[in-house]
Amino acid sequence: MYTIFFIIGIGFVGISFLLGAVADTEVGGPLSFLQPKLIAMFLLVTGGIGLILTAADFDWFFSEAVILAISISCGVVVAGVVHRFVIVPLRRAQNTSTYDKQATIGTWATIISPIPQGGYGKIRYSISGSTVTSPAKSEDGGEINNGENVAIVYIEGSTYFVRREIPLNTN
Protein backbone atom coordinates (compact mmCIF):
# COMPACT_ATOMS: atom_id res chain seq x y z
CA MET A 1 0.00 0.00 0.00
CA TYR A 2 2.80 2.47 0.86
CA THR A 3 4.52 1.71 -2.42
CA ILE A 4 1.33 2.45 -4.36
CA PHE A 5 0.84 5.75 -2.50
CA PHE A 6 4.44 6.72 -3.11
CA ILE A 7 4.31 5.82 -6.83
CA ILE A 8 1.05 7.76 -7.34
CA GLY A 9 2.55 10.81 -5.57
CA ILE A 10 5.79 10.66 -7.58
CA GLY A 11 3.84 10.02 -10.79
CA PHE A 12 1.66 13.07 -10.25
CA VAL A 13 4.70 15.25 -9.54
CA GLY A 14 6.37 13.97 -12.72
CA ILE A 15 3.26 14.46 -14.85
CA SER A 16 2.66 17.98 -13.50
CA PHE A 17 6.28 18.86 -14.13
CA LEU A 18 6.00 17.70 -17.74
CA LEU A 19 2.51 19.03 -18.47
CA GLY A 20 2.36 21.99 -16.09
CA ALA A 21 -1.39 22.63 -16.07
CA VAL A 22 -2.39 19.40 -14.30
CA ALA A 23 -1.39 20.77 -10.89
CA ASP A 24 -3.22 24.06 -11.39
CA THR A 25 -6.71 22.71 -10.73
CA GLU A 26 -8.05 24.40 -7.63
CA VAL A 27 -11.01 23.75 -5.38
CA GLY A 28 -12.26 26.71 -3.38
CA GLY A 29 -14.11 27.20 -0.14
CA PRO A 30 -14.04 24.72 2.74
CA LEU A 31 -12.82 21.95 0.41
CA SER A 32 -9.73 23.88 -0.69
CA PHE A 33 -7.54 21.13 0.74
CA LEU A 34 -8.86 18.74 -1.96
CA GLN A 35 -6.54 20.10 -4.63
CA PRO A 36 -4.71 17.50 -6.72
CA LYS A 37 -1.31 18.88 -5.72
CA LEU A 38 -2.15 18.54 -2.00
CA ILE A 39 -3.55 15.04 -2.46
CA ALA A 40 -0.37 14.09 -4.32
CA MET A 41 1.73 15.61 -1.52
CA PHE A 42 -0.26 13.62 1.06
CA LEU A 43 0.15 10.37 -0.90
CA LEU A 44 3.86 10.97 -1.50
CA VAL A 45 4.65 11.69 2.16
CA THR A 46 2.35 8.96 3.53
CA GLY A 47 3.85 6.39 1.16
CA GLY A 48 7.41 7.55 1.79
CA ILE A 49 7.14 7.53 5.59
CA GLY A 50 5.35 4.18 5.50
CA LEU A 51 8.10 2.69 3.29
CA ILE A 52 10.84 4.08 5.54
CA LEU A 53 9.25 2.79 8.76
CA THR A 54 8.52 -0.68 7.36
CA ALA A 55 11.96 -0.95 5.68
CA ALA A 56 13.71 0.11 8.90
CA ASP A 57 12.14 -2.93 10.54
CA PHE A 58 10.32 -1.06 13.28
CA ASP A 59 7.74 -3.86 13.39
CA TRP A 60 9.17 -5.01 16.72
CA PHE A 61 8.51 -1.55 18.19
CA PHE A 62 5.47 -0.32 16.24
CA SER A 63 2.53 -2.35 15.03
CA GLU A 64 1.31 -1.94 11.44
CA ALA A 65 -1.58 0.20 12.72
CA VAL A 66 0.82 2.57 14.48
CA ILE A 67 3.04 2.82 11.37
CA LEU A 68 -0.08 3.58 9.29
CA ALA A 69 -1.19 6.25 11.79
CA ILE A 70 2.27 7.86 11.82
CA SER A 71 2.43 7.81 8.01
CA ILE A 72 -1.02 9.34 7.59
CA SER A 73 -0.32 11.95 10.26
CA CYS A 74 2.92 12.99 8.54
CA GLY A 75 1.11 13.18 5.19
CA VAL A 76 -1.65 15.38 6.64
CA VAL A 77 0.85 17.66 8.44
CA VAL A 78 3.08 18.15 5.38
CA ALA A 79 0.12 18.75 3.03
CA GLY A 80 -1.37 21.18 5.58
CA VAL A 81 1.90 23.09 5.92
CA VAL A 82 2.29 23.33 2.13
CA HIS A 83 -1.31 24.53 1.82
CA ARG A 84 -1.03 27.11 4.61
CA PHE A 85 2.44 28.49 3.94
CA VAL A 86 2.82 28.05 0.16
CA ILE A 87 -0.50 27.77 -1.69
CA VAL A 88 -2.57 30.28 0.31
CA PRO A 89 0.08 33.07 0.16
CA LEU A 90 0.62 32.45 -3.57
CA ARG A 91 -3.13 32.66 -4.21
CA ARG A 92 -3.34 35.93 -2.23
CA ALA A 93 -0.41 37.39 -4.17
CA GLN A 94 -2.01 36.36 -7.46
CA ASN A 95 -5.34 37.97 -6.52
CA THR A 96 -3.71 41.31 -5.72
CA SER A 97 -2.27 41.53 -9.23
CA THR A 98 -5.68 41.32 -10.88
CA TYR A 99 -7.61 44.41 -11.87
CA ASP A 100 -11.14 45.41 -12.76
CA LYS A 101 -11.43 45.70 -16.55
CA GLN A 102 -13.84 48.60 -16.15
CA ALA A 103 -11.05 50.55 -14.41
CA THR A 104 -9.23 50.67 -17.75
CA ILE A 105 -11.87 52.92 -19.32
CA GLY A 106 -10.20 56.25 -20.06
CA THR A 107 -6.73 54.66 -20.07
CA TRP A 108 -4.42 55.43 -22.99
CA ALA A 109 -3.29 52.50 -25.10
CA THR A 110 -1.14 51.93 -28.17
CA ILE A 111 -2.29 50.02 -31.23
CA ILE A 112 0.06 47.04 -31.70
CA SER A 113 -1.97 45.32 -34.41
CA PRO A 114 -3.78 47.66 -36.85
CA ILE A 115 -7.53 47.87 -36.67
CA PRO A 116 -9.02 47.66 -40.18
CA GLN A 117 -12.26 49.45 -40.98
CA GLY A 118 -15.04 47.57 -39.18
CA GLY A 119 -12.55 44.96 -37.93
CA TYR A 120 -10.49 44.03 -34.92
CA GLY A 121 -6.90 44.72 -33.91
CA LYS A 122 -4.90 44.65 -30.72
CA ILE A 123 -3.94 47.25 -28.11
CA ARG A 124 -1.30 47.40 -25.39
CA TYR A 125 -1.77 49.37 -22.17
CA SER A 126 -0.39 49.46 -18.63
CA ILE A 127 -2.41 49.02 -15.46
CA SER A 128 -1.44 48.09 -11.91
CA GLY A 129 2.19 47.88 -12.98
CA SER A 130 1.47 45.29 -15.66
CA THR A 131 1.51 45.60 -19.43
CA VAL A 132 -1.60 44.03 -20.97
CA THR A 133 -2.63 43.29 -24.54
CA SER A 134 -6.27 42.97 -25.55
CA PRO A 135 -8.42 42.71 -28.68
CA ALA A 136 -9.74 46.07 -29.77
CA LYS A 137 -12.16 47.65 -32.19
CA SER A 138 -12.55 51.27 -33.24
CA GLU A 139 -15.48 52.99 -31.55
CA ASP A 140 -16.61 54.56 -34.82
CA GLY A 141 -15.74 51.51 -36.96
CA GLY A 142 -12.91 53.36 -38.69
CA GLU A 143 -9.37 52.23 -39.43
CA ILE A 144 -6.62 52.85 -36.86
CA ASN A 145 -2.98 52.31 -37.78
CA ASN A 146 -0.25 50.52 -35.88
CA GLY A 147 1.51 52.67 -33.27
CA GLU A 148 -1.32 55.20 -32.84
CA ASN A 149 -2.36 56.22 -29.34
CA VAL A 150 -5.98 55.58 -28.45
CA ALA A 151 -8.23 55.95 -25.42
CA ILE A 152 -10.24 53.01 -24.13
CA VAL A 153 -13.87 54.16 -24.29
CA TYR A 154 -15.85 51.08 -23.25
CA ILE A 155 -15.62 47.28 -23.09
CA GLU A 156 -18.02 44.63 -24.40
CA GLY A 157 -17.10 41.10 -23.39
CA SER A 158 -13.36 40.93 -23.99
CA THR A 159 -13.30 43.54 -26.77
CA TYR A 160 -12.01 47.01 -25.95
CA PHE A 161 -13.57 49.81 -27.98
CA VAL A 162 -11.12 52.63 -28.54
CA ARG A 163 -11.06 56.18 -29.89
CA ARG A 164 -8.15 57.93 -31.62
CA GLU A 165 -6.20 60.47 -29.67
CA ILE A 166 -7.52 63.90 -30.64
CA PRO A 167 -4.71 66.25 -31.72
CA LEU A 168 -4.54 69.39 -29.62
CA ASN A 169 -3.72 71.77 -32.47
CA THR A 170 -3.39 70.91 -36.16
CA ASN A 171 -2.48 74.42 -37.36
Local confidence pLDDT in tens for the 171 residues of the chain: 889 988 988 888 778 767 654 445 555 555 556 678 888 889 999 999 999 988 887 666 778 888 899 999 999 999 999 888 887 787 776 555 556 778 888 889 999 999 999 999 999 998 877 788 899 999 999 999 999 999 999 999 889 999 987 655 444
Asked whether 152 and 109 are in contact (CB, 8 A), the reply is yes
Task: Report which of 104, 123, 102 is spatially closest to residue 113, judged by C-alpha positions.
Answer: 123
Considering 39, 71, 96, which residue would you say is the last residue of a domain?
96
Q: Is residue 170 assigned to a domain?
A: no
> How many domains is the chain built from?
2
pLDDT at position 70: 92
Domain that holds residue 143: 101-164
| Strands 130-138 vs 159-164: parallel, antiparallel or unpaired | parallel
The DSSP code for 35 is -
Asked whether 147 and 121 are in contact (CB, 8 A), the reply is no
Q: Are residues 113 and 87 in the same domain?
A: no
pLDDT at position 46: 93
Task: Report which of 103, 144, 92 is spatially closest to residue 121, judged by C-alpha positions.
Answer: 144
Asked whether 96 and 133 are in contact (CB, 8 A), the reply is no
Q: Is residue 171 assigned to a domain?
A: no
Question: What is the C-alpha separation between 63 and 44, in angstroms, rounded?
Answer: 21
Question: What is the C-alpha separation between 108 and 148, in angstroms, rounded?
Answer: 10
Q: Are residues 116 and 78 in the same domain?
A: no
